[in-house]
Chains A and B, each alone.
Chain A
Amino acid sequence: QVQLKESGPGLVQPSRTLSLTCTVSGFSLTSYGVNWVRQPPGKGLEWIAAIWSGGSTDYNSALKSRLSISRDTSKSQVLLKMNSLQTEDTAMYFCARSPLTGDYFDYWGQGVMVTVSS
């Protein structure tokens, strides 16, 4: 069955770089797109970035200068890097799949909590 699982450091110091991994199973990264979405505690959802089946990428314009998304198809992993972290980047980070039929998100991972603090 389709599964996505996020992993990451949990705690990151301000100004440092965050590296997150989304490991997928039950589908191929060469056939489906994968997105990153974040949610600060008690707040709403914000789309961050996407990588598509052909390898092309899209970024949230407000965060673009700080982001890099890539993938390792041999490991079924999507990687997100965000630099210059600030306390306002504290959030739950989710990865989510886009289906073949549209750009919505049909399956989500459980999320990984990232706290930015010294």
Chain B
Amino acid sequence: DIQMTQSPASLSASLGETVTIECRASEDIYNGLAWYQQKPGKSPQLLIYNANSLHTGVPSRFSGSGSGTQYSLKINSLQSEDVASYFCQQYYDYWTFGGGTKLELK
């Protein structure tokens, strides 16, 4: 099974700051990587798929990059509505999620 290691587990940032979350796969997942945002009490929402494609309706301050085993999610100009947990997911070989990153405002 492919393991996904996500870092950091928690993150505190200020409004307007740029934030980066990392995800490492235990083997090459050939860009089969998605990022989800989950607000408290809500279901996850798709942000990024195929490592760097922005899902419909997602603000352009979100972006994804990476290849092979290393991937990242970047949030430019952090907004208050971005406070949430973020999860990566590999779908190259079945489906596994990273442990999540809880993003809070400083």
Contact = CB atoms under 8 A, between A and B. Distances in A.
Interface in A81-111: 94, 96, 102-111
Contacts of B79: none
A43 to B, nearest CB: 8
A115 interface: no
Given A94-B43, A104-B49, A105-B46, A44 B87 contact: yes
A61 B1 CA distance: 9
A45 interface: yes
A104 B96 contact: no
B43 A35 contact: no
B95 A108 contact: no
Given A103-B32, A108-B43, A110-B43, A44 B91 contact: no
Interface residue SS majority, chain A: loop
A47 interface: yes
B34 interface: yes
A102 B91 contact: yes
Interface residue SS majority, chain B: loop
B45 A47 contact: no
Contacts of B36: 45, 105
Interface string B1-44: 10000000000000000000000000000001010100000111
Contacts of B50: 102, 104
Interface in B41-62: 42-46, 49-50, 55
B55 A44 contact: no
Contact of B34 (A58, A61, A105, A109): A105
Interface of A: 35, 44-47, 50, 58, 60-61, 94, 96, 102-111
Interface of B: 1, 32, 34, 36, 42-46, 49-50, 55, 87, 89, 91, 94-100
Q: Which 3 A-B pairs have the closest CB atoms?
A: A47-B95, A104-B34, A108-B43
19 contacts: A44-B87, A44-B99, A45-B87, A47-B96, A58-B94, A61-B1, A61-B94, A94-B43, A94-B44, A96-B43, A96-B44, A102-B91, A103-B32, A103-B91, A104-B46, A104-B50, A108-B44, A109-B43, A111-B43
